């Protein structure tokens, strides 16, 4: 009898584990993403806070999820705000975006990252810090104006760089933003602002 109960418990647990989570606001939460211990896969934890779906970094900072593409195993989070009257990203105190390397998420290679208010040391890097850098266009509008005139650079995130971090720090670059799948000569009005994360399938 005890054996039967244990088998039934395991089956029920497995069924509930494969259950997709309910919508959060208007966004569907596909498996394996999990907003609750009773749905999805707990390794793929995201958060539903007051109808807004959010991704939590390794440092405990929450980023709003803008969209999810379950067929491609990808989601896009909103870049941190650049705070008013400063050229500081709102996650500067956390060192920028940092993903837990023990979890199945990483930063995709379709992200063009723009860094602002950088120290001169960055000029030794292979990043594009020239007057033709995309960051100069961003400085002309909206929150980008808060960084106008600072040393800025851009780069395409690729596999040779860490796929778990976009660094922001005092003494380095204090602000950043990101555009997904940026095309050459694409006007700023068409830029898809966000940071694309991808996840490894659970099997």
Q: What is the pLDDT of residue 185?
A: 86
Q: What is the pLDDT of residue 17?
A: 52
Please say whether the beta carbons of 129 and 139 come within 8 A: no
Q: What is the pLDDT of residue 159?
A: 63
Q: What is the DSSP string of 74-139?
A: EEEEPPPPBPTTSS-BTTGGGTEEE--TTSSEEE-TTEEEEEEEE-GGGGGSSSB-STTSHHHHHT
CA distance 46 to 34: 6
Q: What is the pLDDT of residue 9?
A: 42
Q: What is the pLDDT of residue 165?
A: 95
- Mean pLDDT, the chain, rounded, equals 90
The answer to pTM > 0.85 is: yes
Rounded to a whole number of angstroms, the distance between the first and last alpha carbons of the chain is 32
Q: DSSP class of residue 202? A: -
Is the bond preceding residue 152 a cis peptide, omega within 30 degrees? no
Please tell me the number of Cα atoms within 13 Å of 97 on its side-chain side.
28
**Closest to 109 in 3D by CA, of 200, 201, 199, 197:** 197
CA distance 68 to 104: 15
Q: Summarize the confidence of residues 158-171 as an average pLDDT.
A: 85
In angstroms, the Cα distances linking 92 to 37, 59, 86, 171 are 31, 11, 11, 11
Tell me the pLDDT tens digit for each residue of 18-45. Answer: 789 999 998 999 999 999 999 999 999 9
Report residue 6's pLDDT band, with 50, 70 and 90 as the boundaries: very low
Q: What percent of the chain has pLDDT over 90?
A: 82
Q: What is the pLDDT of residue 15?
A: 46
Q: What is the pLDDT of residue 136?
A: 96
């Amino acid at each position: 009898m005890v054996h039967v109960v244990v088998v039934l418990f395991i089956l029920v647990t497995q069924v509930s584990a494969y259950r997709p989570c309910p919508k959060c606001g208007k966004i569907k939460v596909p498996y394996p993403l999990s907003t609750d211990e009773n749905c999805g896969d707990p390794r793929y934890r995201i958060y539903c806070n007051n109808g807004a779906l959010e991704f939590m970094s390794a440092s405990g900072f929450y980023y709003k999820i803008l969209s999810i593409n379950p067929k491609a195993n990808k989601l896009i989070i909103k870049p941190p705000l650049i705070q008013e009257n400063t050229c500081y990203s709102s996650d500067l105190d956390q060192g920028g975006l940092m993903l837990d390397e023990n979890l199945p998420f990483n930063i995709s290679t379709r992200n063009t990252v723009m860094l602002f208010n950088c120290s001169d040391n960055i000029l030794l890097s292979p990043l594009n810090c020239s007057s033709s850098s995309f960051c100069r266009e961003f400085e002309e509008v909206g929150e980008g104006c808060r960084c106008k005139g600072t040393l800025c650079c851009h780069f395409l995130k690729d596999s040779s760089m860490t796929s778990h971090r976009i660094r922001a720090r005092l003494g380095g670059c204090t602000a950043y933003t990101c555009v997904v799948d940026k095309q050459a000569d694409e006007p700023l009005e068409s830029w898809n602002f966000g940071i694309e994360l991808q996840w490894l399938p659970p099997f």
